Chains A and B, each alone.
Chain A
Amino acid sequence: MIQNNPIGRIIAHIILIVGILIVAFPIYYTFVASTQTLQDIIRPPLSLLPGGHFWENYSSALFGGIGKIGGVGVDRLLLNTLVMALGIAIGKIIISILSAYAIVFFRFPGRMFFFWFIFITLMLPVEVRILPTYKIMVDLGLIDTYTGLILPLMASATATLLFRQFFMTIPGELVEAARVDGAGPWRFFKDILLPLSKTNIAALFVILFIYGWTQYLWPLLMTNRNDMATIVIGLRKMIDFTDANTQWHLVMVTCILAILPPILVVVLMQRWFVRGLVETEK
């Protein structure tokens, strides 16, 4: 009887559509702006329909010399961000799955100690220890390197905990059977554990890729050279409201280019992402 309330459903649809319009509007507006000329953008109000300068703006931002930020092309910034996001996602998945495997499927002296050693890092985001971490990066000579951008952000226990939780649901009989059949630890890991973990790996990949792509404070500190900056940092450097020469139409293009890859990852891998997000953090 609750399901058969057509008026209530229509109201629900209307509220959802209005909500989506509000949520999508800032992105849509920036997209519209990215297809207009500079003159149109700096003279509000802006038309709410895309203008006719899509190809012109996008090709000059991507290939022309004008879109350069401190002598660096947008393509280079996108590449840096991609390397960083992939590095964090893949690196963290590898080290986490290995350590969770060790903690769940082996008994060895110090096991609980190591578990807590890793677990405590869950609590402290990089934001609260920026200054000392930065100093260490300077001492190690890792400023302006991919290593410096990637490694410190891998030091967190979230993925390890997720894999540990999942591994503990794997029945002992499976391990027993594998051992009876003569499979060693490596064989078990490769042929049984990895295939079973596929969904978890996919979900984690999406979450960590987004995490890496959207970093701000750390790349801001770690990169001095413009050619090592990420797209978000580069974009921040382009924006200057006091400068009359700011190329706003190219800023808008860069903005769209910066948010498109992670949005595609989230939308295309939605199924794993949603399940992974809701299940891992529960």
Chain B
Amino acid sequence: MASSTRVTFPNKFLPYLLLAPQLAITAVFFYWPASQAIQQSVLREDPFGLSTQFVGLANFKRVLNDPNYLNSLQVTVIFSIATALIAMAFALLLAVMADKVIRGKGVYRTLLIWPYAVAPAIAGMLWLFLFNPSMGTLAYLLRSTGYNWDPLLNSDQAMVLVVAAASWKQISYNFLFFVAGLQSIPKSLIEAAAIDGAGETKRFWTIIFPLLAPTTFFLLVVNTVYAFFDTFGIIHAVTGGGPGKATETLVYKVYNDGFVNLILGDSAAQSVILMVIVIAMTAVQFRYVERKVHYG
């Protein structure tokens, strides 16, 4: 926090007045629902809302022993790792190339930041237009080579399609951060290595890549959070969690159990588990931010 020597305005009521709007919104739309989720997660309610009883941690126990939940946890982990790796690798390649060119940097950047502005659900739809078996041109080309492409029936192909859409949308974001990261690496270091005879590939893996580690780690956390929480639209628009439950992520399951199947206690318990996951990820991110101060 600010040091105590900070010059301030002497005023008794004004600061509370200034804080009031945000405090009100935070209390009503954050603390109230969050506390309800925690309360609901230890209660068992029948689907008609007629009776409620306290069941302790039974909801959590049931959720964590539910094969469907464990399946969706596995789906989420696979989906997140694949999305983060592909989006970051592709973005890093482009950023390294953009760092090399002298002319046209601005043009390339402009042409690469579009997908950031596309809603995840629409990103999913764009890929579905290309790859759905009934009218997608790329699906048509795949099938004409004899490959049995049908993401609406084959679970692995469905996963490939949602991962493609999710990582496509995230490339812009990663690209911008990698470009910024590359710019902060001192050119003298790279030149010294070149004079010592290190080739381009060697320079990349021994100097550039290690120095990019803070950026990479930051992006890893951000991409994982993105894949966990912001990709609901992609799943909902492209596969609806299917085929079967092959692409049912954790957030999709919370929605499905709470709003479609109306199992309130389970849905609330899942929400609380998700909160714990987010808090853990944020904590990791903050530790990293603190560490980064030392890197300068």
A binding-site residues for B, Cβ under 8 Å: 1-3, 8-9, 12-13, 15-16, 19-20, 23-27, 29-30, 33, 41-46, 94-96, 98-99, 101-108, 111-112, 114-115, 117-118, 121-125, 127-136, 151-152, 154-155, 160, 168, 172-173, 175-176, 179, 184-185, 188, 210, 213-217, 220-221, 232, 235-236, 239, 241, 248, 252, 255, 258-259, 262-263, 265-267, 270, 273-274, 277-278, 281-282
Contacts and interface: CB of A to CB of B under 8 A. Distances in A.
A67 B34 CA distance: 40
Contacts of B152: 241
B114 A267 contact: yes
B190 A155 contact: no
Given A103-B15, A131-B271, A133-B33, 6 more contacts: A124-B279, A132-B33, A132-B36, A132-B271, A235-B125, A282-B292
Ranked nearest first, the 4 interchain pairs of A and B with the lowest CB-CB distance are A216-B233, A214-B119, A132-B36, A44-B140
B139 A185 contact: no
Interface in B1-40: 1-2, 5-9, 11-12, 14-16, 18-19, 21-23, 25-26, 28-30, 32-34, 36-37, 40
Contact of A95 (B6, B25, B123, B259): B25
Interface residues of B, number: 104
Interface in B61-109: 90, 93-94, 97-98, 100-102, 104, 108-109
Interface in B232-252: 232-233, 236-237, 251
B2 A168 contact: yes
Interface string B177-205: 10010000000001100110000100000
A82 to B, nearest CB: 14
B271 to A, nearest CB: 5
Contact of B127 (A26, A41, A112, A235): A26
Contacts of A112: 1
B14 A106 contact: yes
A270 B233 contact: no
* B90, B118, B122, B195 interface centre (most CB from chain A within 10 Å): B122
Nearest to B237: A236
A220 B222 contact: no
B198 to A, nearest CB: 11
B34 A23 contact: no
Contact of B18 (A99, A122, A125, A241): A99
A29 B137 contact: yes
B278 to A, nearest CB: 5
A213 B22 CA distance: 22
A19 B94 CA distance: 7
B95 to A, nearest CB: 10
Contacts of B2: 104, 168
A42 to B, nearest CB: 5
Contact of A117 (B26, B101, B113, B127): B26
A263 B114 contact: yes
A18 B135 CA distance: 25
Contacts of B224: none
B30 A216 contact: no
B232 A1 contact: no
| Majority secondary structure, B binding face | helix
B162 interface: no
Interface of B: 1-2, 5-9, 11-12, 14-16, 18-19, 21-23, 25-26, 28-30, 32-34, 36-37, 40, 90, 93-94, 97-98, 100-102, 104, 108-123, 125-130, 132, 134-137, 139-141, 152, 168, 171-173, 176-177, 180, 190-191, 194-195, 200, 218, 222, 229-230, 232-233, 236-237, 251, 254-255, 258-259, 264, 267-268, 271, 274-275, 278-279, 282, 289, 292
A179 to B, nearest CB: 7
Contact of A118 (B12, B22, B218): B22
B176 A278 contact: yes
Nearest to B127: A26
A282 B271 CA distance: 28
10 contacts: A20-B108, A127-B232, A129-B30, A179-B9, A232-B233, A235-B121, A241-B132, A255-B126, A266-B114, A278-B177
B108 A98 contact: no
